[in-house]
């Protein structure tokens, strides 16, 4: 399936593709387009739109970021994903103090933005970061038991 979002990805638009590829649709084709064309491209390509500033099929809603919405909509009942969702929420929204890790994740995403790194490269680096964060979340939860 094709998934489309805004270009110049940052926190949620790296986290959500990671979630999509790792847990929802491993064969997903990800499209990054100018913000004003997301819905047009989604319709033309038969793609699922996400994180398109209130216009996407999956977007921020009810105080949740897109990553959290996807976890909920796809019934991903994984405690490590829920912990990661809290980190992403804090990094992507005004709730900056949600977790101690949120500020660091936001700083990394902003750094890639300031470097003007191409979206595909941001995803490549970002997926490694999210793989590591997910592993950390799993370890944290095991340590608690």
Residues of the chain with pLDDT > 90, as a percent, come to: 94
**Backbone phi, psi, residue 64, to 5°:** -100, 145
Domain boundaries, the chain: 2-144
Q: Taking the alpha carbons of 52, 55, 60, 63 in that order, is the dihedral positive or negative? A: positive
Q: Where are the beta strands (DSSP E) in 7-119?
A: 29-33, 48-49
Instruction: Give the distance between the most distant pair of CA atoms in the chain.
Output: 49
Over the stretch 60-97, which tens digit does the pLDDT of each residue have?
999 999 999 999 999 999 999 999 999 999 999 999 89
Over the stretch 20-34, which tens digit does the pLDDT of each residue have?
999 999 999 999 999
First to last CA, the chain: 38
Give the model's confidence band at 144: pLDDT under 50 very low, under 70 low, under 90 confident, else very high. confident
Give the model's confidence band at 56: pLDDT under 50 very low, under 70 low, under 90 confident, else very high. confident
Report the Cα 30 to chain-centroid distance in Å.
12
Sole residue written with tokens 């370890």: 139
The conformation of residue 30, written as its DSSP 8-state character, comes to E
CA atoms within 13 Å, Cβ hemisphere of 41:
21
Q: Which letter, b or e, does each residue of 28-63 get, where b requires 16 or more Cβ atoms within 10 Å of its Cβ?
A: eebbbbeeeebbebbeeeebbbbbbeeebebbbeee
């Amino acid at each position: 399936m094709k998934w489309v979002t805004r270009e110049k990805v940052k926190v949620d638009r790296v986290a959500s593709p990671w979630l999509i590829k790792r847990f929802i649709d491993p064969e997903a084709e990800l499209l990054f387009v100018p913000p004003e064309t997301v819905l047009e491209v989604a319709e033309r390509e038969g793609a699922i739109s996400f994180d398109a500033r209130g216009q996407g099929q999956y977007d921020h809603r009810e105080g949740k970021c897109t990553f959290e919405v996807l976890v909920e909509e796809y019934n991903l009942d994984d405690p490590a994903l829920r912990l990661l969702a809290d980190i992403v929420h804090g990094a992507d929204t005004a709730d900056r103090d949600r977790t101690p890790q949120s500020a660091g994740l936001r700083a990394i995403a902003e750094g890639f933005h300031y470097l003007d790194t191409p979206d595909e490269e941001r995803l490549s680096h970002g997926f490694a970061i999210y793989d590591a964060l997910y592993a950390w979340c799993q370890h944290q939860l095991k340590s608690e038991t």
